[in-house]
Amino acid sequence: MNTVGVFDSGVGGLSVLRALLAELPGVRFVYVADSAYAPYGERTVAEVTERSERITTWLRHTHHIDALVVACNTATALAIDSLRATHPDLPIVGVEPALKPAAAMSHTRHIGVLATRGTLNSERFARLRAQLESVASSPLHFICQPCDGLADAIERDDLQTQQALCERYVTALRDKAPGDMDTVVLGCTHYPFAADAMAQLLGPGVTLIDTGEAVARRTRDVLNMYGTNDTAARAPVLVSSGDPTMLSLAARRWLGLPTRAEKLVT
C-alpha cells in the first residue's frame, strides 16, 4: 500500500484530504496539521521553510511516505522548491491558487483571488499570474485581496469572526473590481470551509474555485508512475502539533471521519 504524507499549517488542508480520499481510497494518508505554528500566511519565509522541512523529515522517518502533498498554498509558494531540492527522491505535489482553471472558466475576464498575504506576496504567485496574463487571448484582470485572520478564524471554528471577515474581504474585493467579477479563486486551503458564507455574499452569478480535486488528480498520476497498490479504503492517520482534539473535531465535522488525532512533537 502506498503511503502519502499531507500537511498544512492547520486544519485547512482537510479540504485537500477530502478530495484525496475520494480520488485514492486505497492509499494510506498521514495528515499533519501544524496548528501550533498556524497560520503560515502571517509567518516569514524562513519560518515556513523550516517547519515544512521538519514535518517532511518526520513523515519520511516515522511513516516512510512514498509521496508528499503540501496541502497549503503558503507553504507551496514559499517552501516547495526548497523541499524538492532537499528531498529529490520524494515525489512532492503542491497546491497553488487555481488561476488557470479560473481563467478558462471566466466569461467576464474579471477574476477575484482571496488568499493569505504570504501567498499573494510570493514570487511563485507573481510568476503564475504573469504567465497567464502573457498568454491570454484577451486581457485578464486578477483582483487580489489578502484575508488577514480568516484562516485563523476557520482554524479556531470561530463562526462569528469568520462571518465578519468574509463580509469585510468580499466587500473589499468588490470595491477593487474594475468590472463584473464572475469567478473567485479560494487561494487558501482553509477557505473552502467558509465557502457557503462567501457564496452568499458574492451572489449566484459568481463561481467559487478551489484546488482540492486538481491536487487529488495530480497525486493519483504521480502514484501511478510509481505503481499504486489498490486495497480497501482505510481511515487516515491524523497528527497535530497543536491541540489534537481540535483536529479530531474538524475532521469529524467536515469529513465525517471518526479518527482520533495524535500529538506531533517536532
Residues in the chain: 266
Comparing CA positions, the residue from 45, 41, 46, 67 lying closest to residue 56 is 67
Of 72, 144, 147, 166, which residue is the catalytic one?
Answer: 72
User: In DSSP terms, which residues pair with 126 in a beta bridge?
Assistant: none
99-209 CATH fold: Rossmann fold (3.40.50)
Rounded Cα distance, 174 and 180, in Å: 9
- Name the residue ranges covered by the structural domains of the chain: 3-95+212-263, 99-209
Quote the cell numbers at residue 16: 485537500
Catalytic annotation present for 144: no
Catalytic annotation present for 188: yes
Handedness of CA 21, 24, 25, 30 (dihedral sign): negative
Of 144, 147, 166, 188, which residue is the catalytic one?
Answer: 188
Rounded Cα distance, 140 and 174, in Å: 16
Report pTM.
0.86
Architecture of the structural domain at 3-95+212-263: 3-Layer(aba) Sandwich (3.40)
Per-residue pLDDT of the chain (266 residues; tens, 9 = 90+): 689 999 999 999 999 999 999 999 989 999 999 999 988 888 999 999 999 999 999 999 999 999 999 999 899 989 999 999 999 999 999 998 899 999 999 999 999 999 999 889 988 899 999 999 888 778 899 999 999 999 989 988 899 999 999 999 999 999 998 779 999 999 999 999 999 999 999 999 999 999 898 899 999 999 987 665 555 567 899 999 999 999 999 999 999 998 899 999 87
